[in-house]
Amino acid sequence: MEYILNIETATKNCSVAIAKDGQVLICKEIAEEGYSHAERLHVFIEESLQAVGITYNDLAAVAISQGPGSYTGLRIGVSAAKGLCYALSIPLIAVDTLASLAAQANVNDGIVIPMIDARRMEVYSAIFSHDGSLQRKVEAEVITEDSFNVISEKIYFVGDCNEKCKTVLTKENFTFLDTVKYPSAREMAKLSQVKFENNDTVDVAYFEPFYLKDFMITAPKKQ
């Protein structure tokens, strides 16, 4: 019987889930424009533990969404996860953000392409079969009307890029699942359980989020 704390902060969604043997017992999350992760994350963790009736010492591992995604969001989540793992002497598990996002599609055919907004027409994307197996690794790409045209199977798009991508991705085999917008800790549970059982963990001291692109500092707008 293992309890795993799953933390997802790669996008606007601040999400926490506690799972027992891969089954989600509770999930607390909120998606806000202002990125309230710093204020919400530890509160959600505390509330989730209390709701399940366990303490930090009952946790067997902490799973963190590794990216790609928001630089600040990822740093907040990874810092919290590392701190807990170090203090409790438990393993840290890294889960691919786009894999957990794709898992929300819950389809029985075709291809699933999860996408996370990277500004303008650029996205972070990967390609999965409907059963969750990876078909193409994560890339940063600019979406054009020719994107994914070589794929003849039905494609399901999920993520926070659907609205902007609908204007250029118009082929008949393209379907947008608009109800799936952000990755969630809920879908991390099964993925993190498999990694836990296979001892697929990362080094707490040296693990870094998968940013995919370098962090860019922009000058503030003139008043």
Q: What angle do CA 57, 61, 63 make, to 5 degrees?
A: 135
Q: Residue range 85-100: average pLDDT? A: 98
pLDDT surpasses 80 at 82: yes
Q: Residue range 20-39: average pLDDT? A: 91
Beta strands per DSSP E along the chain:
3-8, 13-20, 23-31, 59-65, 92-95, 111-117, 122-129, 134-142, 155-159, 174-176
pLDDT surpasses 80 at 214: no
Omega before residue 68 within 30° of 0, cis: yes
What's the pLDDT at 213? 65
Considering the chain, what percentage of its residues have pLDDT values greater than 70?
95
pLDDT surpasses 80 at 216: no
Q: Residue range 1-25: average pLDDT? A: 96
Beta carbons within 10 angstroms of residue 37's beta carbon? 28
- Provide the 8-state DSSP code for 200: -
For 110: left if phi > 0, alpha if psi spans -120 to 50, otherwise beta; the answer is: left
Of 157, 161, 175, 148, give the one whose Cα is nearest residue 69: 161
